[in-house]
A and B are shown apart, each in its own frame.
Chain A
Amino acid sequence: MDNKSQHDKTIDRREFFRKSAAASVAALAGTSVMSSDAMADDPAIMHHVPWGQVWGDPVTKNRYGVPSKYEHNVTRRNTKLLASGNFRASIAVTPIQESMGIITPNGLFFSRSHGGVAHVDPNEFRLMIHGLVEKPIVLTLEQLKRYPSVTRTHFIECPANGGQEWRGPQFNSVQFAKGFMSCAEWTGVYVKTILEDLGLKPEAQWMLAEGSDNSEMGRTVPVDKVLDDAMIVWGQNGEALRPEQGYPVRLLLPGWEGNLCVKWLKRLEFSTEPWYCKEETSKYTALQPSGKAIQHFYANEVNSTVTSPSPEIPWTNLKDGDIVEIEGLAWSGMGTITGVDLSFDGGNNYVKANLKGLVLPKSWTRWSYMHTYKKGERLLLTSRAMDDAGYIQPTIDQEVSIMGVESVYHRNAVETWEVTATGEVNHVQMRTPGGIKNA
């Protein structure tokens, strides 16, 4: 066996799958699954594997580790629809169909910039804090990191997550329909800790956060958030921020729009009046049917989706009677997830799903439901989350009746994933054509 050629191995493998298929049919017919006589031997077991008979890499290789080459399809992706500026004012989204637990690996964290990913020399990094403070300050990176640190797990979400689908589903993909977000453990200092000594003046209402990148990305933040949980972060999942996340330093406003969490941060200024930055009026404002647009729309509202099954990784290989875990994510920028319901009929009837793992404020929360698969069944899987601020995800009709379909941002209505008779999964929406008329 050891000396079999690759060609023979291939034949073995074909034989194995052919016989295995026959065996599983036999199992359906009532033969005991414990009886393995009808099964061929699995060549993956019967052969010595190539990596088992040669030296592996020395530990001196890949001093900074990289994923297995076999995982190359687990990657951020783009679409030309969202490709402005030769992919410089653009977004690459996270493969949440492959996500595990509640932490996004740094290399898969979604990447959005308004002037390209800047590469900041940490030796030339300076942070200036000034305006309505008693003592302005300039900090080097080393000086900043000497402040007492805190570590928190929070998601960051682009408020345009799902924003291409106000008028109907467009992406047959959970990566693109819901992957404009990621979750990480962040380390940094509370802005309020630095302000203790700087002394914020009483008339200060707003803070400008400005980046040093090509677009000089800026946003105005109300002092309420600054004095609550706003952080200046330099750590992401136990290492320095990645350039795509603003290396060496970004602002983190837990739960709020990703673009408010200004990357490549250089300056914080306090003022009585807001700044009207480009990204807080011309963009990131939600136009309503009245013609008025919501500006300063801060928190990403309670949200959820099924992540398994997905159009990317469907149930086409399931057999009748297989017990399978339906999994998903829930998150709220307004608090902590308190529960998730799951519907099998597109949101007409719900059962309570189960939360699992850590349930943290303004963090991804994983939920689960065990399901016995019936071959040929057709399902409409809809999840619905609630948070401790009291919010629940609206139906599409409910959300559209207030927001219309032109607001682009902050769409958090329930999502539905259709499982077809053959186990394929499609992104669909459950809605009244033309919207509900009393709107």
Chain B
Amino acid sequence: MLKLNTKLIATASAAAAIAVLTVGCMQNSAEPKGTNTVNGKPTIDGGVIYPVENDKTGPYYVNPQVALDAKKIYNGRVPTANELKAWDKDVMPDGTGLPEGSGSVEEGEEIYEAKCVMCHGDFGSGGGGYPALSKGNGYELQKTLTNNRWHDPEADGPTRVFGSYWPQISTMFWYIKDGMPHPKSKTLSDDETYALTAYMLNINEIEYEGEEIDDEFVLNREKMLKIKMPNENGFIPNIDGPNALDDVRTFYANPTNFGAIKVKASERCMKDCQEKSVVVTRIQGAGISNFLPPMSDVRDLPKEDNKAEVKVDVKEVYNNACAMCHSSYLAPGSDEWKPFLAEGMETVYKKAIDGTEGGMPAKGGADLSDANFKLVVDYIVHGK
């Protein structure tokens, strides 16, 4: 009864999806029911959809004129070739969108030390709430993905980092180019992005043509397309190739594949449902309870917010805005400040307020006046 066929839509614009959808089996004015098949195939997500019947989709009325008029509405304009080029920058596993260029592991390490290490840690080890980028050999760590702490909570869990988990290198290249460095994204050149990607492969001990990628290795487009990540085949359902959507539909048609349960309402358990082995499991210790702001349901007047100019709790600002990076690097009172202090406090203030190329966001992202932020800088520089 429902026809939702992509081929129809393109081959004949008259066969518009909505128009086709309205030709469903006609019921009375009763609310149309959901269906879990489309054109005889299961739905893509295992759920139901609500085809339009009697000008309704589920409980909602729809204006039937829209289906007739929509194929005549083109409210915008055609993008120019340059506009397409400017925005169509995604990088796909087959190399679509991957630019020419090159960069070495060594160059990548230099950029990493200058722009990434303050958040992602030495050799991508992570820290301060930022993701780790490596935990060692990607091939070995890929084997930990079968670790599961269900029977033994003290056991080692799986390690999910770039080398052990990510199926494609293109994802890393694309994300570095678009999203990194996090406080100042889209500032790296293609060559710098190749260099950083090469360094990521190096610290995860990924191989190129059977050899581990070393410091001398230079990554370029051609080489990148040859490298297979250790966990390339670690994901289900299949999403590649011309039958991908059928594979996805088949996967979600089976509740067991994703931990779901189907039951007829009349057959669900209402009495004595539980195994004898089930016990009340409690939160260990205080659990996670450092909520911001602290939990309260009291109806009272808020404490006057006089932080604006009067007084700033520098330690609180440090903990909220600075500690992520500055607990490990340029920590409060650290000797690492010496070369910076040699440039004079005014320079330090200016860099802190305006932000730096090296990854320091303007005022660390804190919403404070310059005067108050200088107090925070004083605290981080002197440790008091």
Q: Shortest Cβ distance from A82 into chain B, in angstroms?
A: 9
Residue pair A334, B45 in contact (C-beta under 8 Å): yes
Task: Tell whether, in the assembled complex, residue B277 and residue A349 are in contact, meaning their CB atoms are under 8 Å apart.
Answer: no
Write the nearest CB–CB distance from B260 to chain A, whole angstroms. 6
B295 touches A85 (CB 8 A): no
B10 CB within 8 Å of chain A: yes
What distance in Å separates the Cβ of B193 from its nearest Cβ neighbour in chain A?
A: 13
In the docked arrangement, what's the CA distance between A118 and B272, Å? 52
Q: Does B174 have its Cβ within 8 Å of any Cβ on chain A?
A: yes
Q: Flag B216-227 by CB within 8 Å of A: 1 or 0 each.
A: 000000000000
- A338 interface residue, CB < 8 Å from B? yes
- With A293-B235, A361-B34 known as contacts, the answer to whether A275 contacts B90 (CB < 8 A) is yes
A428 lies within 8 A of B239 (CB): no
Q: Is the CB of B44 within 8 A of A224?
A: yes
Check A434 for interface membership: any CB of B closer than 8 A.
yes
Q: How far is the CA of A380 from the CA of B280 in the complex (A)?
A: 9
A109 to B73, CA, bound (A): 33
Q: Which of B108-116, B201-209, B251-259, B372-380 forms contacts with chain A?
A: B251-259
Contacts of B262 in A (CB 8 A): 389-392
| Complexed CA–CA distance, A290 and B269 (Å) | 29
- A171 in contact with B288 (CB, 8 Å): yes
- A293 near B295 with CB under 8 A, answer no
* A414 CB to nearest chain B CB (Å): 10
A87–B322 alpha-carbon span in the complex (Å): 11
Q: Does B78 contact A (CB under 8 A)?
A: yes
The answer on a CB contact under 8 Å between A210 and B78 is no
Could you say which residues of chain A place their CB within 8 Å of the CB of B264? Answer: 390
Contact B7–A291 (Cβ < 8 Å): no
B69 to chain A: closest CB distance in Å?
7
Q: Decide if A364 is an interface residue (CB 8 Å cutoff).
A: no
Chain A nearest Cβ from B281, distance in angstroms: 4
> A391-B260, A402-B256, A404-B148 known; A197 and B74 CB under 8 Å?
yes
The reply to whether the CB of B242 lies closer than 8 angstroms to some CB of chain A is yes
CA of A98 to CA of B295, assembled, Å: 12
Alpha-carbon distance A201/B9, docked complex (angstroms): 8
Asked if residues B282 and A169 are in contact (CB atoms below 8 Å), the reply is yes
Give complex CA distance A199, B9 in Å.
7
Q: Add 17 more A-B contacts to A281-B166, A281-B235 (CB < 8 A).
A: A168-B153, A169-B281, A172-B289, A173-B295, A199-B13, A224-B4, A227-B6, A281-B168, A289-B146, A334-B45, A334-B48, A338-B265, A389-B34, A389-B47, A390-B263, A393-B261, A432-B277
Give 18 pairs: A residue, B residue, CB < 8 Å, sorted on A: A74-B297, A79-B291, A137-B74, A197-B74, A205-B244, A215-B185, A227-B4, A255-B47, A281-B171, A301-B258, A334-B47, A335-B47, A348-B273, A350-B273, A410-B259, A426-B283, A427-B283, A433-B277
